[in-house]
Amino acid sequence: MIKNSLMLLGMLTASYSSIAEETWRGLVVEPKNRCSSYNKKAQYPYPQSVEDEIVASMGGIVYGPYTGSYFESDTNTDIEHIVAASEGHDSGLCNASDEMRVQFATDLLNLTLAAPIVNQCNIGGKCGYDAGEWMPEKTGVGLLIECFK
């Protein structure tokens, strides 16, 4: 069920209905479409406790894959959506139910940890950009593509 949110997002953004569409690494590239207003806190909520689930999914190691950095504690990291909530919203989740948006926001396949400087809107920060606008220092695009598949 959790994986359904990413599969829906992938279907919405990687529709293979038109041969003439441009592709990038096997994904169909389509224009973004903000079909409704966007408010991350209201539309894509997640509990802070999801950070503990992320750490558990990493075998108890507090690691930021974008920089290849290890941290002493998850208090030194931010929860990071690999496919940003704003990107998901503009890629079709703007039409999704509240339940589907929450599934997307809490899907462990789309969550990782990041140093705050990487996760926020500053020079070099991810800030909700997509893979065409920002690439991680270490993991490259592979992690992002896996989320869309």
Per-residue pLDDT of the chain (149 residues; tens, 9 = 90+): 445 444 444 444 443 334 446 776 666 667 788 889 999 999 999 999 999 999 999 999 999 998 899 999 999 999 999 889 999 999 889 999 999 999 999 999 999 999 988 888 888 888 888 777 887 777 654 555 555 55
Residue 53's pLDDT is 97
User: Which H or E element spans position 13?
Assistant: helix 2-13
Q: How many CB atoms lie within 10 A of CB 82?
A: 24
Question: What are the sequence ranges of the domains in the chain?
Answer: 2-32+40-148
Angle between helices 98-106 and 2-13 (to 10 degrees): 100
The predicted structure's pLDDT at residue 17: 39
